[in-house]
Amino acid sequence: MTNKYKYFIANWKMFGGVKSVNLLNKVIKFSKLRKFKYARIIYCPPYTLLHDFVLKTKKNTINIGAQNCHHSEIDGPFTGFINSKMIKKIGCKYVIIGHSENRLTGENDVLLNRKIKSSLRNKLKIIFCIGETYNQKKNNMTKKILRKQILHGLKNIKNINNILFAYEPVWSIGSGIIPKLKDLKNNIIYIKGLLKKNFKLKNSQVLYGGSVSPNNIKELKKINEIDGFLVGGASQNPNKFIDIIKKTFN
């Protein structure tokens, strides 16, 4: 890994009830160990748990983020949505934008660009997800897709220092299959090169997401260019999530 800190983002997706906040107890205790002081742990639970998670982690180093947000900063007729201003006011510091599961529902680069701008204006840090589908990979379009998602998603945004990039191949999410290490390394290097060339970002932070588990983390951590991991299902289990962090550093 090329940066000092390693990021471990727990994307809970549609999981958890009020009592689920107690699942943080082990991770909170673990986060206090000096041995793992360079681990940056971020939990992104459903909207219904954001307030409880913020209160639970108020006195430790764990940060909380939302899984998505609406593009408008103005209160209005948007039933079922919350915006970046509301997320910030509740005490969150991060928001995931561009996850493939949301892109599949119709979120395009223009909409994501508006969400990113809104979130940056409200002082949120962004976890920007990018990645190709299986057909795009098969047709050797991976780099073309990554370039398009980055350049269009970040159009007219000059300062991207508060954006973490999560490379998540769509075909890997939830499948248990991770990319070949050579391909993954090349894609991470490509992303970092693109950010350096187009945005003058010398120390970009690029994470990997897609079926990350305690079983494959030792393989994934061999790629020094990866600055952390966006973890889905495995993050819902505190023992598995802790195991991923431990194995990254050991």
pLDDT along the chain (250 residues), means of 10: 85 97 98 96 98 97 98 94 98 98 96 98 98 97 98 97 97 94 98 97 96 97 97 98 97
Active site residue: 70, 71, 99, 132, which one?
Answer: 99
* β-bridge partners, 11: 44
Instruction: Output the domain CATH number for residue 81.
Output: 3.20.20.70
Asked whether the CA dihedral 14, 17, 18, 21 is positive or negative, the reply is: negative
Residue 1 lies in a domain: no
Which amino acid is residue 179, in one-letter code? P
CA-CA distance, 15 to 210, in Å (whole number)? Answer: 17
* Helix/strand number for the chain, H first, E second: 10, 8
Classify residue 197 by its DSSP letter.
H
Residue 137 lies in a domain: yes
CA-CA distance, 221 to 169, in Å (whole number)? Answer: 17
pTM of the model: 0.97
CA-CA distance, 164 to 40, in Å (whole number)? Answer: 12
pLDDT of residue 3: 78
| Active site annotation includes 168 | yes
pLDDT of residue 4: 84
Residue 84 lies in a domain: yes
- Backbone dihedral region of 249: left (phi > 0), alpha (psi from -120 to 50 degrees) or beta? alpha
Q: Compute how many other C-beta atoms are within 10 angstroms of the C-beta atom of residue 242.
A: 19
Number of C-alpha atoms within 13 angstroms, CB side, residue 198? Answer: 17
Place of tokens 């120390």: 203
What is the span of the domain harbouring residue 163? 6-249
Inter-residue contact 115 to 71 (CB < 8 Å):
yes
Residue 61 three-state SS: coil
Q: Compute how many other C-beta atoms are within 10 angstroms of the C-beta atom of residue 178.
A: 20
Q: Compute how many other C-beta atoms are within 10 angstroms of the C-beta atom of residue 142.
A: 21
Tally the domains of the chain.
Answer: 1
Phi, psi dihedral angles at 157 (to 5 degrees):
-110, 115
Active site residue: 101, 107, 132, 168, which one?
Answer: 168
